[in-house]
Amino acid sequence: MSRVAHPAGPRHGDVLPADHPPTPPADLNALHPAIWPRGALRVGGVLTLGGIDVRDLAARFGTPALIMDEADVRGRAREYVDAFGGDAQVYYASKAFCSRAVLRWVTEEGLGVDVCTGGELAVALSAGVDPALITLHGNNKLPAEIERAVSAGVGHIVVDSYEEIARLAYHAEALGKRPRVLVRVTTGVEAHTHEFMATAHDDQKFGFSLASGAADEAVRRVLALPQLDFAGLHSHIGSQIFDTGGFEVAAHRVLELAGRIHAEHGVHVAELDLGGGFGIAYVPEDDAPEVKDLASSLRSIVASQCLVLGIPVPRLTIEPGRAIVGPSTVTLYEVGTIKDVDGIRTYVSVDGGMSDNVRTALYDASYTCALASRSSAAPPMLSRVVGRHCESGDIVVKDCYLPSDLGPGDLLAVAATGAYCRSLASNYNHLPRPGVVAVADGAAREIVRRETLDDLLRLDVG
């Protein structure tokens, strides 16, 4: 089979996106340490995860499969707790990936859990998470979700609209509870990320605008209701952010609101939640912030601004999700059809696709992938890894270099798929969603079962 090989870089006329590296990597078998799970190794040329050969994982659990390194998740969770210190609180943003096993891991390492739907709340409670360590988010919380959260005694509820403030007070009075409330503030900070992942500009659905005065009014309404306990302020500027300057500006603006609250009401803001959205490396060019540097910067800016305003320093809270679970996971696929488009690239089809990773189609996300079931000394070929769905946009990895001797039956591994891939998974074209397998110390277990065709048919009651 003729392949489009690029031993010294792309040929004249090859189609490459502007952000694609101009030359192939020096070693197609190398694993970039910032992208792959910390326990990922090549042994005899074969990728191992948690001490297990990926060929054995594929044979036992099938493909596609998301393989999650438990030690990696726990280690990253501990790093956030250690970096921010005992006087701060770290919550795991469960929307990144929500399962009982993972929520147990992170809470055992000292994290709380934030949820944004009744379903995520149910998983957290089912996992045995202390309700006092749960924060409920959401721009349109259903009455049943509010009632469940208040009844369970969750630690915080983040209010997002005037209607929700009144609704929450109604349920709190009916249940004889007084929930602690954070007011979500839209700071107007421009996060340098994809438009759909930016959440602090005014023209969007989340929070109360600082610029319009809505945030000040929301605090007034919460303080006027004896059924609610005003705990503090919440700000979230977006996701997959590398430039920490946005967090500093947001903290400045939210703390200015805290100063106004103190001046107008004589109330100290006890808690300041700066959200999450900390970026991770998906490709070698990504420069993700170090946790220690991030913690030092945020703590410093909060302390200095409070000193200027003459207000007590609130307890700092953050909500990493992707940064905890994202790098921990690799998706294994089996190669099927390989199609060369002469002079352009080679299309490598795998047995999954946008049903298990829609981020490439949704956010134009980039990923790193590698031949996992063996090593190869063959010349690199410019490739596009695509799925098996009936969509031309069904792309897993837009552009990468794979060995030109790649063949059907080989295993490909796509790195950094722990966040949002399984969470956003679908049954498009009636493909069952893949399972999630945890690996640790040479042992593997399924923590989310692979769906079957029987599962799909069982829901079709017509």
pLDDT (tens digit per residue) in 207-222: 999 999 999 999 999 9
With CA atoms as reference, report the closest residue to 240 among 180, 126, 323, 127: 323
Q: Which two tokens stand for residue 170?
A: 């109604």
Q: How far apart are CA 60 and CA 385, in angstroms?
A: 24
Residue 315 has a pLDDT of 96
Q: Is the dihedral of CA 174, 180, 186, 191 positive or negative?
A: negative
Residue 243 has a pLDDT of 77
Query: Among all residues, which ones are annotated catalytic?
Result: 390
Q: How far apart are CA 175 and CA 147, in angstroms?
A: 8
Whole-prediction pTM: 0.92
Q: Which two tokens stand for residue 56?
A: 């054995």
Residue 10 has a pLDDT of 39
3-state secondary structure of 66: strand
Residue 322 has a pLDDT of 96
What pLDDT digit, counting tens, does each position of 20-74 carry?
A: 444 688 899 999 999 999 999 999 999 999 999 999 999 999 999 999 999 999 9
Residue ranges of the chain whose pLDDT lies below 70:
1-23, 190-204
The answer to whether the CB of 97 falls within 8 A of the CB of 419 is yes
